[in-house]
Amino acid sequence: MRCADDRGCLGGVIGFSWQRQRVLLLNATYEPLTVVSTRRAIVLTITGRAETVHEDEDHALAHSEQLVVPVPSVIRLRHFVRVPYRAQIPMTRAALMRRDANRCVYCGSRATTIDHVVPRSRGGANTWDNCVACCAPCNRRKADRLLSELGWSLNRAPVAPKGRHWRLLATVTDIDPVWEQYLAA
């Protein structure tokens, strides 16, 4: 099978979708940095800037005229890079659900929706400290009322999560299960 993109392509690819595949890039300290394309990951490894930590679970191979390389799932930079810390983690549904462990903050049952603690209709913001995971019944019951009007309370105030891996969790939708060990808090 040929790669669809011949320009700068390493050659053909066996057993996986070249375009879709993504590789988790770790710093030398194993801190997750970002997700890169498979091609970028392979270039980083064959040029010696990174080493493969985990190979693709389906044992996919990428080949050029000179070499065949296993497609990585996780790679690690050989030299530590200092990355400027960006405090703001974008709030996404997936990341919010993860912060609240997929549980309704009001009753503890499985969360399927997001609730604005202070309803948007009453000026509540779409931010980490005003959004919580919620089940559908609680969400319906709460409607556009304040917690004080319902006699409800939160066990703890919702806050924005901290740590670089949260940026990754917030922006990447396809999390490979192999990556989880590097994304734990």
**Vertex 46, ends 43 and 49: CA angle to 5°?**
80
Counting contacts by CB under 5 A, is residue 77 touching Zn ion? no
Q: Which strands form 32-37's sheet, in the order they lie side by side?
A: 32-37, 22-26, 72-77, 50-55
Among 106, 128, 166, 182, interactor with Zn ion by CB under 5 A: 106
CB of 114 to Zn ion, least distance (A): 12
Counting contacts by CB under 5 A, is residue 104 touching Zn ion? yes
Counting contacts by CB under 5 A, is residue 36 touching Zn ion? no
C-alpha torsion angle, residues 132, 136, 138, 142 (rounded to 10): 80
Candidates 27, 57, 30, 32; CA nearest to 44 is 27
- Single out the segment in contact with Zn ion by CB under 5 A; choices: 36-44, 87-95, 105-113, 118-126: 105-113
Pattern of binders to Zn ion over 112-151, x per CB under 5 A? -----------------------x--x-------------
Counting contacts by CB under 5 A, is residue 105 touching Zn ion? no
Q: How far is CA 110 from CA 32, 54, 107, 143, in A?
A: 29, 32, 9, 18
Counting Cβ atoms within 10 Å, is residue 54 exposed (0-12), middle (13-18) or buried (19+)? middle
Which one, 112 or 130, has the nearer CB to Zn ion?
112
Counting contacts by CB under 5 A, is residue 42 touching Zn ion? no
Q: How many residues bind Zn ion (CB under 5 A)?
A: 5
Binding-site ranges for Zn ion (CB under 5 A): 104, 106-107, 135, 138
